[in-house]
Amino acid sequence: MSVILHAFHDQAAEAQRLAVALRVPLAFVDVHTFPDGEVLPRIPPPASTTIVYRSLNQPNSRLVELLLSVDAWRSNGVERLVLVAPYLPYMRQDIAFRSGEPVSQRVLAGLLDDAFDRIVTVDPHLHRTPSLETLFPHCECVHLFGSDALVSRLRAAPPSPDTLVVGPDIESRPWVSRIADPLGLDHATYRKVRRGDADVDIESPFGLAVAGRPILLVDDICSTGGTLRKATAILRSSGAGPITIFITHMLGDTRVVESLLQAGATRIISTDSCPGPTSEVHLADLVAQSLKGLS
């Protein structure tokens, strides 16, 4: 057996979809937890090329389990170790914003760069970092877009041609255009002024006509929902039609989802990078395409 997919039991459904898309066998890492909280992973028999599915939302315990498992994979003969981590954590802390803080992005990237031969991720939240290659100088890295998975889904059930694709801030422009352009839809981005983690103001582009139009509101990450709530409220006050929110990484819990619905959203969907009640857009086919040739 030359290629196998390994995963952890808490992400079994997502891993199973990827295994089917890749047409490779799937086996699971068992993790024993000691009374003091330490963990001991035990990997199944690997292959010379082992692909590991481990999305890293709720990252702290998952990172420890993953990094400990790396030693077992290497000790048991894995020659090519590939990490599929649709969500990469700690990317936002890319500088020390205050004295005494770490550059968390650099720390995490260094650990993963040393551990894996290839890393596949989706919409990493990079601000001042120009590319993944900057973070991972030693291993191959692949940057996928969650919006491409949504476009594939929308081609099967096309939205109304007068749908307006909206981003809540300038940073969302790449995702907005990757959705709107292939589908021939109009698009626009708002301007965000952030004053705190959950304190933001949104400014609408001058002359943006939204009255009566279906809206697809797009963002890469939702933690507290503050930005999307403000954008939804502005769209509603401007007379927008039904508002669907699409998020690549839905980190917020059900309370955040409920707050977005209360703000006026009609529907909220996200990818399965962070499994939950909104994770309708599956990434397996998109990821499998990036791994073509390994299986």
Q: How does pLDDT run across 128-183, given as a tens digit for each residue?
A: 777 888 899 999 999 999 999 999 999 999 999 999 999 998 888 888 999 999 99
Based on the fold, state whether residues 76 and 157 are members of the same structural domain: no
Based on the fold, state whether residues 155 and 60 are members of the same structural domain: no
Q: Which domain holds residue 27?
A: 3-144
Based on the fold, state whether residues 161 and 115 are members of the same structural domain: no
Is residue 130, in this structure, part of any structural domain at all?
yes
- Whole-number percent of the chain with pLDDT over 90: 81
Backbone angles phi, psi at 8, to 5 degrees: -110, 150
CA distances from 56 to 2, 36, 278 (A): 26, 23, 18
- Whether the pLDDT of residue 290 is over 90: the answer is yes
Q: Name, in order, each residue with C-beta under 8 angstroms of 287's C-beta and a sequence gap of 6 or more.
A: 18, 21, 84, 86, 120, 122, 144
The single residue of 62, 118, 125, 192 carrying the catalytic annotation is 192
- Whether the pLDDT of residue 31 is over 80: the answer is yes
Based on the fold, state whether residues 13 and 126 are members of the same structural domain: yes
Is residue 294, in this structure, part of any structural domain at all?
no
- What are the pLDDT digits (tens) for 235-287? 999 999 999 999 999 999 999 999 999 999 999 999 999 999 999 999 999 99
Is residue 163, in this structure, part of any structural domain at all?
yes
Based on the fold, state whether residues 189 and 138 are members of the same structural domain: no
Based on the fold, state whether residues 171 and 201 are members of the same structural domain: yes
Domain end call among 113, 144, 175: 144
Domain end call among 144, 164, 189: 144
pLDDT at 126: 82
Domain count, the chain: 2
Based on the fold, state whether residues 130 and 174 are members of the same structural domain: no
For the question of residue 230 being annotated catalytic, the response is no
Based on the fold, state whether residues 126 and 64 are members of the same structural domain: yes
Based on the fold, state whether residues 100 and 233 are members of the same structural domain: no
Is residue 291, in this structure, part of any structural domain at all?
no
Within 10 angstroms of residue 36's Cβ, the number of other Cβ atoms is 5
CA 161, CA 214: separation in Å to the nearest integer?
9
pLDDT at 130: 79
- Asked if 260 and 244 count as a contact pair (C-beta separation under 8 A), the reply is no
For range 36-60, the mean pLDDT: 97
Q: What is the tally of helices (H) and strands (E) in the chain?
A: 9, 15
With cut-offs at 50, 70 and 90, classify the pLDDT of residue 195. Answer: low
Is residue 293, in this structure, part of any structural domain at all?
no
Domain end call among 83, 113, 144: 144
Range in 36-45, 89-98, 226-235 the model is least confident about: 89-98
Based on the fold, state whether residues 110 and 243 are members of the same structural domain: no
- Asked if 133 and 142 count as a contact pair (C-beta separation under 8 A), the reply is no
pLDDT at 206: 60
pLDDT at 1: 58
Residue of higher predicted confidence among 157 and 216: 216
- 3-state SS class at 82: strand
Strand segments (E) across 43-198:
49-53, 80-84, 118-122, 140-144, 164-167, 186-189, 191-196
With cut-offs at 50, 70 and 90, classify the pLDDT of residue 94. Answer: confident
With cut-offs at 50, 70 and 90, classify the pLDDT of residue 198. Answer: low
What DSSP character marks residue 54? -
Based on the fold, state whether residues 152 and 137 are members of the same structural domain: no
- Whole-number percent of the chain with pLDDT over 70: 95
Is residue 290, in this structure, part of any structural domain at all?
no
Based on the fold, state whether residues 85 and 210 are members of the same structural domain: no
pLDDT at 172: 87
CATH number of residue 220's parent domain: 3.40.50.2020
